[in-house]
């Protein structure tokens, strides 16, 4: 990259950071998380020359890389907050939540497509795009209100991680479908078999590396250098980049790798006492003071609401299919005695954050000429609408019910759950 392009990138980020800083000051007075200022500023910049500058062919690779670093740091820090013991206690409930919220969103998404006159196969694919959750958009707000280590935080992060597995198979399914359209059946069959074997092998390598690191390797490495924050930070970067890269290469996605890296490092941080606490504060400052903002800049600049004008009905229906479907799925957990009504409302809003997956799928389908430009525009608009509304609604609900939601991440006993539901 030339010096001129570097200068343009730095000046463009300077404008975004400056505007975000000022807006965060205003949002703070309204008790709205300041990090949302970056999202709102970037959304406004989408309709300015800054959008063409940062998302243009010259600067997009560098800007996209910085945004990916933002995802890595955000989710690594969240991983540091996760207690595997507490997560295991909720594991069955998290699985139930994931199944219920994804199934209803999928069904409603299919019904919308069929009602609009599309075929069964395309309805099936678009229904799948209603299922995943972009937890990276919500977790900074959870952390802002100290809810990461609560039941609500564990449910949102846990179901978000399981949703990432769905994203892997969704992208794989779309790729295979496109491949079958473009290649002979025999060739496509061979490619599918090879790809499945490769995916299974890479997942196995990732899980083995994670288990070894969590049980032994990370703690051993932490003892090789003096107990100082800079050394622990260096080891943390080694782990987060290593597992982020391994997960991305294995098509699990950086989100899984980053959270896994944080989970691996948590026992090391706990074992180092004050040094671990100092390093945690440093990583948090870097994440929310810079790298996290870069991710929200990328999200805001990617928002496109034109579909609400060109295809308003389809865009709104696709948005509501996912939104209502996930709320229904979470609500079923209440009579099951797993969560309270207030927890259900908060979790239901939180897991409705979406962006990248459905846009990626929509772009793949458009490039393969399997969908038209109207459906593509509607899908992008529905995703963008969730990016705008969900963080704002989530912040409002969390701020209102904050005291009630700050409960330890332990299972609810059925009788106590009934009592909570009554008061909720």
Average pLDDT over residues 404-408: 69
Residue 213: per-residue pLDDT: 94
Model pTM score = 0.69
The CA distance from 397 to 391, in Å, is: 10
Instruction: Return the closest-CA partner of residue 262 out of 289, 237, 288.
Output: 237
Average pLDDT over residues 100-124: 90
Judged against a pLDDT cut of 90, whether residue 279 lies above it is answered with yes
* pLDDT band per the 50, 70, 90 thresholds, residue 364: low
Structure tokens at 414: 């059925």
Tell me which of 177 and 289 has the higher pLDDT: 289
Residue 247: per-residue pLDDT: 83
Residue 222: per-residue pLDDT: 93
Residue 208: per-residue pLDDT: 93
The CA distance from 410 to 91, in Å, is: 11
Instruction: Return the closest-CA partner of residue 142 out of 96, 97, 93, 75.
Output: 75
Judged against a pLDDT cut of 60, whether residue 414 lies above it is answered with no
Provide the percentage of residues in the chain whose pLDDT is more than 70: 82
pLDDT in tens, 322-334: 999 999 999 999 9
Judged against a pLDDT cut of 90, whether residue 95 lies above it is answered with no
Judged against a pLDDT cut of 60, whether residue 192 lies above it is answered with no
Q: Which residue has the tokens 């200022």?
A: 37
Alpha helices in 213-340 (DSSP H): 218-222, 229-249, 254-271, 274-286, 292-302, 307-310, 312-331
Residue 422: per-residue pLDDT: 41
Instruction: Return the closest-CA partner of residue 272 out of 219, 311, 206, 320.
Output: 219
Domain ranges of the chain: 3-423
Q: 182-196, 236-250, 383-397: which has the minimum mean pLDDT?
A: 182-196
The CA distance from 327 to 323, in Å, is: 6
Residue 77: per-residue pLDDT: 84
Judged against a pLDDT cut of 70, whether residue 129 lies above it is answered with yes
pLDDT in tens, 3-43: 888 998 999 999 999 999 998 888 877 666 777 788 888 88
Structure tokens at 21: 């800083």
Residue 356: per-residue pLDDT: 60
Instruction: Return the closest-CA partner of residue 145 out of 418, 408, 417, 406.
Output: 406
Q: Is residue 340 within 8 Å of residue 334, measured between CB atoms? A: yes
Residue 152 φ then ψ, to 5°: -60, -45
The domain made up of 3-423 has a fold known as Na+/H+ antiporter like fold (1.20.1530)
* pLDDT band per the 50, 70, 90 thresholds, residue 389: confident
* pLDDT band per the 50, 70, 90 thresholds, residue 83: low
Residue 326: per-residue pLDDT: 92
* pLDDT band per the 50, 70, 90 thresholds, residue 256: confident
The CA distance from 216 to 237, in Å, is: 18
Instruction: Return the closest-CA partner of residue 151 out of 325, 307, 342, 3.
Output: 342
Query: Per-residue DSSP letters for 239-274?
Result: HHHHHHHHHHHTTS-HHHHHHHHHHHHHHHHHHTTH
Residue 194: per-residue pLDDT: 65
């Amino acid at each position: 990259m030339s010096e001129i392009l570097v200068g343009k990138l730095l000046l463009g980020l300077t404008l975004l950071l400056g505007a975000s800083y000022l807006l965060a000051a205003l949002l703070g007075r309204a008790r709205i998380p300041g990090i949302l200022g970056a999202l709102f500023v970037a959304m406004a910049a989408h309709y300015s020359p800054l959008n063409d500058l940062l998302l243009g062919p010259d600067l997009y690779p560098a800007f996209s890389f910085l945004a990916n670093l933002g995802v890595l740091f955000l989710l690594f820090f969240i991983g540091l907050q996760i207690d595997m013991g507490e997560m295991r206690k909720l594991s069955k409930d998290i699985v139930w939540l994931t199944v219920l919220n994804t199934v209803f969103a999928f069904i409603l998404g299919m019904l919308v497509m069929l009602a609009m006159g599309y075929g069964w196969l395309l309805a099936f694919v678009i229904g799948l795009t209603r299922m995943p959750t972009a937890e990276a958009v919500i977790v900074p707000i959870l952390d802002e209100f100290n809810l990461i280590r609560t039941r609500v935080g564990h449910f949102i992060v846990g179901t978000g991680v399981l949703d990432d597995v769905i994203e892997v198979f969704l992208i794989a399914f779309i790729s295979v479908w496109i491949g079958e359209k473009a290649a002979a059946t025999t060739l496509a069959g061979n490619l599918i078999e090879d790809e499945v074997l490769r995916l299974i092998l890479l997942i196995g390598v990732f899980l083995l590396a994670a288990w070894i690191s969590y049980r032994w390797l990370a703690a051993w490495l932490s003892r090789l250098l003096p107990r100082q924050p800079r050394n622990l930070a260096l080891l943390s970067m080694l782990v987060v980049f290593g597992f982020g890269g391994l997960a991305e290469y294995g098509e699990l996605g950086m989100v899984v790798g980053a959270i896994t890296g944080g989970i691996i490092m948590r026992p090391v941080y706990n074992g180092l006492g004050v040094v671990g606490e100092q390093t945690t504060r440093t990583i948090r400052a870097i994440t929310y003071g810079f790298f996290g903002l870069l991710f929200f800049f990328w999200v805001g600049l990617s928002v496109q609401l034109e579909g609400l004008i060109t295809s308003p009905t389809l865009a709104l229906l696709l948005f509501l299919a996912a939104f209502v479907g996930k709320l229904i799925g979470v609500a079923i957990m209440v009579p099951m005695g797993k969560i309270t009504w207030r927890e259900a409302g908060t979790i239901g809003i939180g897991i409705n954050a979406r962006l990248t997956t459905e846009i990626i799928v929509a772009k793949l389908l458009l490039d393969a000429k399997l969908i038209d430009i109207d459906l593509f525009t509607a899908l992008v608009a529905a995703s963008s609408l969730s990016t705008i509304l969900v963080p704002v609604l989530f912040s409002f609900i969390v701020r209102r019910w904050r005291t009630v939601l700050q409960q330890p991440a332990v299972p609810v006993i059925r009788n106590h759950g009934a009592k909570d539901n009554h008061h909720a």
